[in-house]
Copies of this chain bind each other. A is one copy, B any other.
Amino acid sequence: MGKSKISMAVVRRLPKYYRYLCELIEKDIKRVSSQELGKLTGFTASQIRQDLNNFGGFGQQGYGYNVTELKNELGKIIGISEIYNSVIIGVGNLGQAITNYRRLGRVGINLIGLFDKNPKVVGLTIGGIKVRDTDELGDFVRENNIKIGIICTPKEGSQETTDILVENGAKGIWNFSPADLKVPSDVVVENVHLTESLFTLSFLLNQSLEDGQ
């Protein structure tokens, strides 16, 4: 079903809730009210209750939310415990950094393939994984039930790479290339546009410096 149609505004707040709930668990705190969670996250208590109620009534009047329970429920909603076979395409600086990002395994990414078209890196082993030629990408994706492709190539070719991933069964793209990828409606793309992020910082910084004078 999933008829729900959760707005992206809500979706982007979920990981933050989850993060603070994990912190509360570390501190051994058992219960939390929407107001307290609001103070932590910076969202209003009202918004938090609205957000959570998109998925169900996890709280209890007069008490608040059970931290562990809410964390587990959110984890299920986000799909934390789902494991997806994944590949990285482009093992330059960024691709290598992500390959070695230990946290990957803990957030559902089972990284089993690295690809590059540069003959100098093809054949190398990085983070225990052999780098294959991008020519082999399609076959590999199909044969290994790859669900997520992590694109760390330059923008040139990133659409073609995406097409190969999608044609062979990938359903999610984590895109670090500075391009807007076209995918069918049953494939999801999450962009990390570092240059745009930096431009945003630049804009805000310039505004702030001007205002300050």
Contact = CB atoms under 8 A, between A and B. Distances in A.
Contact of A203 (B11, B104, B148, B202): B11
Interface string A97-132: 110110110011100000000000000000000000
Interface centre among A2, A42, A96, A206 (most CB of B within 10 A): A206
B197 A174 contact: yes
7 contacts: A2-B211, A14-B203, A19-B195, A94-B101, A97-B97, A103-B195, A174-B197
Interface residues of A, number: 62
Interface string A12-23: 101110110000
A29 interface: no
A36 interface: no
This protein's copies in its complex: 2
Contacts of A160: none
Interface of A: 1-2, 6, 11-12, 14-16, 18-19, 41-42, 77-80, 82, 84, 93-94, 96-98, 100-101, 103-104, 107-109, 147-148, 171-172, 174, 178, 180, 186-188, 190, 192-212
A204 B180 contact: no
Given A2-B210, A93-B96, A193 B15 contact: yes
Contact of A78 (B82, B148, B187, B203): B203
A10 to B, nearest CB: 10
Given A16-B196, A42-B180, A192-B192, A171 B202 contact: no
Contacts of A203: 11, 14, 77-79
Contact of A188 (B100, B107, B204): B204
